[in-house]
Structures are given as structure tokens and as C-alpha cells.
Amino acid sequence: MLKPHYAVTTDIARVYKVRERGRQGWGWAIATIREWRGGGQIDVQSDFGSYAYTWTAIGDRSLREFLCDLSFDYFMNKAMGGSYELFDEGKTINSIKAEIFRLRESGVIDRRIAHEWRDDVDDCGDAGSEHLFAERLMRCDWFNKVFDVYPPIETVDNPQARAFWDGPWQALCTHWRQELDLQKRVAA
């Protein structure tokens, strides 16, 4: 017989189900929460993606109170591991061209050089990914004259993460606040 390597225990969690009431048929989430003194864990499955994280030091408040006070960036960075921001090639190109324009305006480079560099930036476009764009740009002979190590990258919120935050997440927070308020009134 094999020696057991894992111990299995059970625990109790709360499950919250959210569904958008409109006609679109989307906008649902199922959030499972385990709370304990000073921490807790959330696991969300939704049509806007999956979000999960465990906090072990949130102070004296409940996990639900803690979650309702979080910002979009903090929550998404934890629950999506930082993948909530997407590379925005157009904004990145415009930002780099603006830097080239500033160099031209301040007299660091002349008009001809500025046009050449802006053409180089355009040639790096249609990369499809941040890393390919940066790799192309870093091959330009002038790159290290303008940037230290890596080009400034512009991002945009992942539309699914934003839709989850603005929809089901807000509904969950509203529900948790009402739930906590009721608990406080009953305890008083």
C-alpha cells in the first residue's frame, strides 16, 4: 500500500452568485469567500474571467469589509497577477514620438533626425505584442541615446477586468456592505 502524502480536510465557505438582470444574458459571477481572523480568500469565476487571491494580514476587519475598500489596480494586480493591463501600441508610439518631438524642440536633435527617428518608430508598429515592439525599437541605433533600458510602454485596462469591476464586483460590494450593516445592527 502507498504511504499517504497528503492530508485532506474540509472547511466551510460562502458562495455569492451574481447575475445581471438585463436582457444581454451576460454579467454573471460566482464568488466563493473563506474568512478567518485577520485574513481570507476569494475565488471568483465569471464570464469576465477568473479572479482569486488569499490575504493573510488584513487587520481586525472582515474580508468583505477589506474587499469593499480595495482599488481596481490593487485588486486586479493581486487577483490577476498583474495581467489586467494590456499593451496599447498606438498610445506607446504616440508617447515615444512626443519624446522625439521634445528632443527636437529643445535642440538636442535637428528636424531631419527627428523625422528619421519617428519613421523608425512607425516601422516598429504592428508588432502585436509589447515585447516584439520593444525588441524592434531597441534595435534602432538611436534608442540608447533616448532611453535607458526599456522604452516607455503605455497600457490600457483589460476590458474584461474593467467590465467585471464595474459590474459584478460592484454588485458584490453593495451586497457585502448591506450584509455587514445588518450583522452590526443585529449584534447591537
Q: For residue range 32-43, list pLDDT tens digits in order.
A: 999 999 999 999
Query: How far, in Å, CA of 76 to CA of 28, rounded?
Result: 18
Whether 28 and 20 have beta carbons less than 8 Å apart is answered as yes
Co-location of 19 and 68 in the same domain: yes
Strands of the chain (E only): list them. 14-19, 28-36, 39-46, 49-55, 85-87, 155-157
Does residue 28 lie in a domain region? yes
Q: What is the pLDDT of residues 91-132, one digit of tens each?
A: 999 999 999 999 999 999 999 999 999 999 999 989 989 999
Q: Taking residues 170-182, what's their average pLDDT? A: 96
Type of residue found at 84: Y
Same domain assignment for residues 80 and 167: yes
131 located within any domain: yes
Task: State the average pLDDT for the chain.
Answer: 93
Q: Mind spelling out the 3-state secondary structure of 113-166?
A: HHHHHHHHHHHHCCCCCHHHHHHHHHCCCCHHHHCCCCCCCCEEECHHHHHHHH
Q: Give the pLDDT confidence score for residue 1 in this predicted structure.
A: 64
Query: Can you tell me whether residue 183 is helix, strand or coil?
Result: helix
Please give the pLDDT value at position 148. Answer: 87
Answer yes or no: is 5 within a domain: no
Average pLDDT over residues 49-69: 96
**Which residues are paired to 29 by β-bridges?**
18, 46
Q: State the Cα–Cα distance between residues 155 and 91, nearest whole angstrom.
A: 8
Instruction: Say if 73 falls within a structural domain.
Output: yes
Please check whether residues 146 and 93 belong to one and the same domain: yes
| CA separation for the pair 174, 148 (Å, rounded) | 45
Asked if the structure places residue 77 within a domain, the reply is yes
Summarize pLDDT for 124-162 with one digit per residue, the tens. Answer: 989 989 999 999 999 999 999 999 889 999 999 999 999
Query: Rounded to the nearest 10 degrees, what angle do helices 111-124 and 89-105 cross at?
Result: 170
Secondary structure of residue 31 in the 3-state scheme: strand
Do 79 and 166 lie in one domain? The reply is yes
pTM: 0.79
45 forms beta bridges with 30, 50
According to the model, what pLDDT value does residue 25 have?
61
Name the residue among 50, 12, 54 with its Cα closest to residue 31. 50
Tell me whether residue 185 is in a domain. no
pLDDT of residue 27: 85
Same-domain status, 112 and 153:
yes
pLDDT grade, residue 69 (50/70/90)?
Answer: very high
By C-alpha distance, which of 49, 40, 39 is closest to 76?
A: 49
Q: How far apart are CA 114 and CA 112, in angstroms?
A: 5
Does 8 map to a domain?
A: no
**Does 49 lie in the same domain as 34?**
yes
Summarised one tens digit per residue, pLDDT across range 11-57 is 999 999 999 887 666 689 999 999 999 999 999 999 999 999 999 99
Which pLDDT score is estimated for 20?
A: 85
Rg (C-alpha) for the chain, rounded Å, is: 24
Residue 70 lies in a domain: yes
Q: How many domains, the chain?
A: 2
Domain span at residue 171 reads 14-84+159-179
